[in-house]
Amino acid sequence: MEEKVKISMLCDLYGKLLTPKQFDFLNDYYNNDLSLSEIAENNQITRQAVRDNIKKGEKKLFEYEEKLSFMKRTLNQEKKIEKVLSELTKIQKNSSDKKVEAILASIKKELNCLV
């Protein structure tokens, strides 16, 4: 997974555990696609101060993920759900029983809500 996407996801999961400035800077940098210079200008601080805050925030996010593993578990769960959906589709295609097909369609609908 690309580093920017990973940090953006971690920010969504653990962002509220960071200081407000760290969260705002990370959000601006990764989600709003602002440059360090733009963030610095908007906050009347140096570019280096923004970079330091972002690096500290990134470090904290990775520490939280290392300890709690929410993102890892979520991604694994999504993979398993997708595999189950794939298997249900195979069964549904090969089934000639309309009741079974309806039940499988209902199950697939519920699982799709989880992904």
User: Which residues of the chain are modeled with pLDDT < 50?
Assistant: none
**pLDDT tens digit sequence for 76-87:** 999 999 999 999
Structure tokens at 66: 């290392």
* DSSP letter, residue 44: T
Q: pTM for this one? A: 0.77
**pLDDT tens digit sequence for 46-59:** 999 999 999 999 99
Instruction: Compute and round to an integer the Cα radius of gyration of the chain.
Output: 21
Tell me the longest C-alpha to C-alpha distance in the chain.
Answer: 68
Structure tokens at 80: 């398993």
| Whole-number pLDDT of residue 94 | 83
Measured between alpha carbons, how far is residue 74 from residues 36, 47, 98 in Å?
30, 34, 33
